[in-house]
């Protein structure tokens, strides 16, 4: 598969940026604490007053040598410390003969307006199928499917075994790609792979117990989902209906179903 490499644009392509909306707006009374929209609270208004100072501690990036390579601790060392929750999705792929594979993935994220990216091992059927066909479907499950995760990804499962049948799940044909959608999931992103980038874990972790991971970036070709979710009047209502789950390292999960607005979110660049 041809790997596409994107380079940063030069200064001539950069978009001219003026003052932010907040800078353009006239300030109201008070020392930088009120704007036309919302209120910004600072130390002069009591924010942080009375809180004890936080001590910062440096953490070695290199995995400690005394961690057992066979335990999995070496690969989990860093994200066990920074505790960043990771969305759980089910990725469906198919090999050249049409055999379907489904696997939970949690190292994943949206990537731009029409892209999705995730990481998996080069030993997994997911990677091998995408390398062969260039297609995959990201299925977003609700928290009611959490008990299916072990059946979909338990260790030492032969590659020929149908995980969907074992987990009691079913499929729907996709619109733009050959791998099917998982019917019991809430939303479905049909993707075409555009970039594969490999990371040598054996070298990074100084152990042969872990091989190579690959970052897979795909362009979203089609999007579908449960009618009640798609037709929900607001984003907040969609989140409540989907009841997505995130992995909270290591091997815990939480349900995302109560979004709250970010203060002054109308004036945030991200």
Say how far apart CA 128 and CA 149 lie, in whole Å: 21
Q: Is residue 240 part of a domain?
A: no
The CATH number linked to 200 is 2.30.110.10
- Tell me which H or E stretch contains 119: strand 115-121
The answer as to whether 22 is a domain residue is no
Per-residue pLDDT reduced to its tens digit, 12-46: 344 444 444 445 444 444 444 444 444 555 555 55
Domain-embedded: residue 38? no
Q: Is there a domain that residue 163 lies in?
A: yes
Q: Which domain covers residue 159, as residue numbers?
A: 89-234
Closest to 182 measured CA to CA, from 259, 88, 81, 47: 88
| Partner residues linked to 192 by β-bridges | 135, 219
Q: Residue 161: its pLDDT value, please?
A: 79
Flag whether 255 is in a domain: no
What number is the average pLDDT over the span 229-241?
A: 95
Residue 151 lies in a domain: yes
pLDDT digits (tens, 9 = 90+) for 90-132: 999 999 999 999 999 999 999 999 999 999 988 899 999 999 9
Cis peptide before 84 (omega within 30 of 0): no
Number of domains forming the structure of the chain: 1
Residue 259 in any domain: the answer is no
**Least confident stretch, 75-84, 171-180, 223-232:** 75-84
- For residue 47, what are the contacts with CB-CB under 8 A and spacing of at least 6? 41
Instruction: Tell me the C-alpha to C-alpha distance, in Å, between residue 33 and each of 24, 43, 126.
Output: 15, 10, 51
Is-contact 190 137, C-beta < 8 A? yes
Is pLDDT at 249 greater than 90 in this prediction?
A: no
């Amino acid at each position: 598969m041809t790997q596409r490499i994107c380079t940063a644009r030069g200064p001539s392509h950069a978009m001219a940026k003026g003052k932010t909306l907040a800078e353009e707006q006239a300030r109201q009374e008070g020392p930088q604490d009120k704007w036309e929209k919302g209120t910004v609270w600072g130390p002069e208004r009591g924010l942080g007053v009375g809180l004890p100072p936080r001590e910062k501690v440096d953490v070695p990036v290199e995995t400690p040598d005394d961690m057992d390579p066979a335990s999995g601790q070496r690969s989990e060392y860093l994200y066990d410390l920074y505790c960043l929750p990771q969305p759980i999705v089910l990725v469906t792929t198919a090999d050249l003969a049409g055999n379907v594979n489904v696997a939970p993935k949690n190292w994943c994220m949206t990537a731009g307006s029409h892209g999705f990216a995730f990481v998996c091992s080069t030993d997994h059927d997911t990677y091998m199928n995408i390398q062969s066909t260039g297609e995959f479907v990201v299925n977003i499950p609700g928290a009611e499917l959490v008990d299916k995760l072990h059946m979909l990804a338990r260790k030492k499962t032969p590659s020929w075994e149908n995980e969907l049948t074992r987990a009691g799940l079913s499929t729907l044909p996709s619109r733009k790609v050959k791998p099917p959608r998982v019917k019991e999931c809430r939303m479905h992103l049909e993707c075409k792979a555009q970039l594969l980038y490999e990371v040598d874990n054996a070298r990074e972790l100084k152990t042969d117990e872990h091989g190579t991971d690959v970052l897979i970036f795909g362009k979203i070709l089609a999007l579908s989902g449960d009618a009640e979710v798609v037709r929900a009047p607001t984003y907040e209502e969609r989140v409540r209906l989907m009841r997505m789950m995130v992995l909270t390292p290591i091997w815990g999960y939480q349900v995302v179903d109560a979004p709250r607005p970010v203060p002054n979110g109308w004036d945030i660049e991200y």
